[in-house]
């Protein structure tokens, strides 16, 4: 894919900030005052960058690409969670094209290089009585070489720490937006992952690996066999395939981060 701008809707309007609390929070504020589908908020640094499961997201000034996009899909709320896997697919493709490295996906949506996390995705949804009001898709990609906080130093990396070239954050943003527009439209055609299922599973680092499923009903181990068309991870346990939903449980590798 050639990353030719302008795209149809992704990033048609880009709001840029030097410092902000969180691009997800700013995108949400804009969405509340009717900002359009596809509008992007990007910042050099975030003072309260947010990660999944209430964690903090390290967002040092200039060290990465921190951005969020407003989505207003006309779909039922149950079709929304898979969009985070669609985004992972888009970022993976963009990173592969821009860096020449082979990124992998740790289900459902962490992007991994050399066994370490390089990108995280946080999707937040606001649903009203008439369905989805908006979705905020937040993406954080570590780009520049940096010292990570002690608690993530062993499991985090950055694009320039893994490939021997400078990566323009502006071009990376353009690449991710182009790939996302493409995969989002594929998803909207079928309302499932079927058109990108094979591709996603090719990048899935958990594939055929032993995983530990942290189910609130009780943790267990099994072999990951790829995702199904709704984005659930299929885990084989005692000859039975169990479909794991990312909203309910998380999955850990048995050895190391992946
Ligand atoms: C994760 O925990 O893996 C998700 C991290 C998501 C971080 C991004 S950075 C841009 C956007 N703004 C935020 O506050 N969080 C997301």
Per-10-residue mean pLDDT, the chain, length 258: 79 97 98 98 98 93 98 97 97 97 95 96 97 98 96 96 96 97 97 98 95 90 96 95 84 72
Most ligand 1 atoms within 8 A of CB, residue of 14, 41, 51, 148 to mutate: 51
The number of the ligand 1 atom at minimal distance from the alpha carbon of 22 is 14
SS3 253: strand
The reply to whether ligand 1 has any atom less than 6 angstroms from the CB of 226 is no
**pLDDT for 57:** 96
- For residue 156, the tally of other CB atoms under 10 A from its CB is 18
Q: Are 66 and 23 in contact (CB under 8 A)?
A: yes
Q: Are 44 and 59 in contact (CB under 8 A)?
A: no
SS3 220: strand
The reply to whether ligand 1 has any atom less than 6 angstroms from the CB of 58 is no
CA atoms within 13 A on the CB side of 82: 28
The reply to whether ligand 1 has any atom less than 6 angstroms from the CB of 142 is no
- Calpha distance 117→153 (Å, rounded): 10
Q: Which residues of 25-54 are buried (b: 16+ CB within 10 A; e: fewer)?
A: bbbbebbeeebebbbbbbbbbbeebbbbee
The number of the ligand 1 atom at minimal distance from the alpha carbon of 24 is 12
**pLDDT for 5:** 67
Nearest protein CA to atom 9 of ligand 1, as residue = 140
The reply to whether ligand 1 has any atom less than 6 angstroms from the CB of 52 is yes
The number of the ligand 1 atom at minimal distance from the alpha carbon of 25 is 14
- For residue 244, the tally of other CB atoms under 10 A from its CB is 22
pTM of the full structure: 0.96
Q: How far is the CA of 110 from the centre of ligand 1 (A)?
A: 11
Q: Are 204 and 105 in contact (CB under 8 A)?
A: yes
**pLDDT for 216:** 87
**pLDDT for 258:** 66
Q: Which residues contact 130 (CB under 8 A, 6 or more apart)?
A: none
Nearest protein CA to atom 11 of ligand 1, as residue = 138
Q: How far is the CA of 57 from the centre of ligand 1 (A)?
A: 6
The number of the ligand 1 atom at minimal distance from the alpha carbon of 50 is 14
DSSP 107: T
Helix locations, the chain, DSSP H: 23-32, 83-99, 159-162, 169-190, 197-203
**pLDDT for 114:** 95
Binning the chain into helix, strand and coil, the percentages to the nearest 5 are 25, 35, 40
């Amino acid at each position: 894919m050639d990353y030719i701008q302008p795209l149809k809707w992704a990033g048609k309007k880009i709001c840029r900030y030097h410092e902000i609390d969180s691009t997800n929070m700013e995108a949400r504020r804009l969405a509340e005052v009717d900002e359009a589908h596809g509008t992007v908020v990007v910042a050099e640094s975030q003072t309260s960058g947010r990660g999944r499961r209430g964690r903090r997201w390290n967002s040092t000034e200039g060290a990465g690409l921190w951005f969020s996009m407003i989505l207003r899909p006309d779909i039922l709320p149950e079709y929304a969670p898979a969009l985070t896997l669609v985004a992972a697919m888009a970022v993976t493709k963009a990173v592969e094209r821009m860096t020449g490295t082979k990124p992998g996906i740790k289900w459902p949506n962490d992007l991994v290089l050399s066994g370490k996390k390089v990108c995280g995705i946080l999707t937040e949804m606001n649903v009203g009585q008439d369905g989805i009001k908006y979705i905020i898709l937040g993406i954080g990609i570590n780009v520049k070489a940096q010292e990570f906080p002690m608690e993530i130093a062993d499991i985090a990396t950055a694009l320039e720490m893994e490939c021997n070239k400078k990566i323009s954050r502006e071009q990376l943003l353009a690449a991710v937006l182009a790939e996302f527009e493409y995969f989002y439209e594929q998803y909207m055609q079928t309302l499932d992952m079927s058109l990108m299922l094979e591709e996603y599973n090719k990048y899935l680092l958990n594939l055929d690996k032993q995983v530990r499923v942290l189910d609130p009903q009780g943790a267990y181990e099994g072999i990951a066999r790829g995702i199904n068309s709704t984005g659930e991870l299929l885990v084989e346990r005692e000859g039975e395939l169990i479909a794991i939903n990312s909203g309910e449980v998380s999955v850990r590798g048995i050895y190391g981060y992946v």
